[in-house]
Every structure is written in structure tokens, then in C-alpha cells.
Amino acid sequence: MSDLRFEPTMVREPKTARELFEAVKANPARARFGFGSRLAVVNVDLQQAYTRPDLFPKTAYVTDPDQIAHVNRISALARSKDMPVIWTHVAYKPDGGDAGVWGTRTDTPDSLQNIKVGSERHAFDPRCEIDEARDLIFTKRMPSAFFETPLASYLVWRKVDTVVVTGGSTSGCVRATAVDSLSHGYRTIVPEQCVADKHESYHFANLTDLQLKYADVVDVREVVDWLEGRNA
């Protein structure tokens, strides 16, 4: 048996998650995945349980006050270029059983598995500009928008090579969707102003991880400029 033993090499430094993200974002040598030729906008869980602190203060979160306005803008631009827009929200059947093990940690009125289909918590934020005739809209049950949903086959059908992920939370369903997007072979873009989380630390730590490994974290203006420069 080998007797090799190493001391911990994990870096420890007195920087906040925001400071670490800003340092990574400012690195000009960091390679990017970039945009391909055809994108889809995947708007993750912009539902009242997570976007309306006036109604659901225990579960909702706001990072950029203009988040939904930015999401609406890039979604409208994508439609104008005949590129797909997808909206997900999460909810469960009356007994919450389809939440599986994810729904076993707590059981309060605010718990995940108690978001019921058709409830106020399940409803999309009324500020979301959804084109029900054109957009793909579905309820998911697990963090990733890809898991046991029609998303993967829909993106293949629409000949997409780039996925723009918006919504919340950055550390939860946005991250899970972005990781699965990369795993499915898509260039993955996360517009910084279009994602949100409950705590600054979670938000920026996960933006850092996404930028280093799974996605390009960009200013929303970059997505707008790319879409405006495409032919319909």
C-alpha cells in the first residue's frame, strides 16, 4: 500500500464570492465557447414562487430589478429571428409524490413539493411576455430543464447549436440546466443580468463555476447585439 500523503492544496483567500467572480470575468485570456449559428432562449422557472417577494418572501429572490425586462427583450429578439423560446416552471401533483427524494427534506407550505399545478406559486410572473402560440412551455419536476422533458428533442428539431439560459436560481435550476446543456453538446450562454438567486454568495460562486467550466457568462447586451446582427 502506498504511503503517499499530501497536505490540502485548496486555495484559501479572504475574497468574497463577488470579488472572485469579478476577477474571473476580467481575465482576458479565458477561452470562450462563443455563439454558434442558431440559439434558443431557455427561461427557467420565472414563476411567482421565485420572482414575487411581495407574495412569497420566503422563496422569491431578486438580483437585478430589470431581470424579467431583459429576458423579455432577448426572447422577443429570438422570436423575430425565428429562433425558439422556451419557458419552464415547476409544480407537483397534490400529494407531492412526483418530487421524489427532492421533496423529502422539509414539509412546510413553502416547500418545493407543495408548489401545486395551477397554483399562484406555479403561475408565471405576469411581467413575462410569453407567446403561447409560438413558445415551448412546460412544467418540470427536477432542477434541469432537460431532465425528463421535451427540451432535448425540441432543440434538435429546431436545429439549435447554442442555448441561452436565464431565470433562477443561479445555484440551482439555472446551473443544472447549463451543465446539462453543455453535456448535450450545446454552446451555453448565461446573461448575467438575467439570472438571480437568494444570496449573493451562492449567486456569484455559481457564476464563477459556470464561467470556468460550463458556460460563457456575459453581459445581456452581448446577447442582444448578437441577435440584432442576425438575419431573420
- 123 in Cβ contact with 137 (< 8 Å): no
Contact 39, 163 (CB under 8 A): yes
Q: Does the CA dihedral 152-153-154-158 come out positive or negative?
A: positive
Q: Which residues of the chain have pLDDT under 50?
A: none
Q: Which domains does the chain have, with CATH numbers?
A: 34-228 (3.40.50.850)
Residue 119's pLDDT is 98
What is residue 28's predicted lDDT score, i.e. its pLDDT?
79
Sign of the torsion angle spanned by Cα atoms 137, 141, 143, 146: negative
**Count helices and strands in the chain by DSSP H and E runs:** 7, 7
Question: Comparing C-alpha atoms, which of 151, 32, 34, 158 is closest to residue 87?
Answer: 151
Q: Which residues are catalytic?
A: 173
Contact 143, 172 (CB under 8 A): yes
Task: Report the pLDDT value the prediction gives residue 30, as an integer from 0 to 100.
Answer: 79
pLDDT of residue 2: 80
Q: In this predicted structure, what is the pLDDT of residue 144?
A: 98
Q: What is the pLDDT of residue 3?
A: 87
Please name the helix (run of DSSP H) or strand (run of DSSP E) that holds residue 174, with its range, or none.
Answer: none
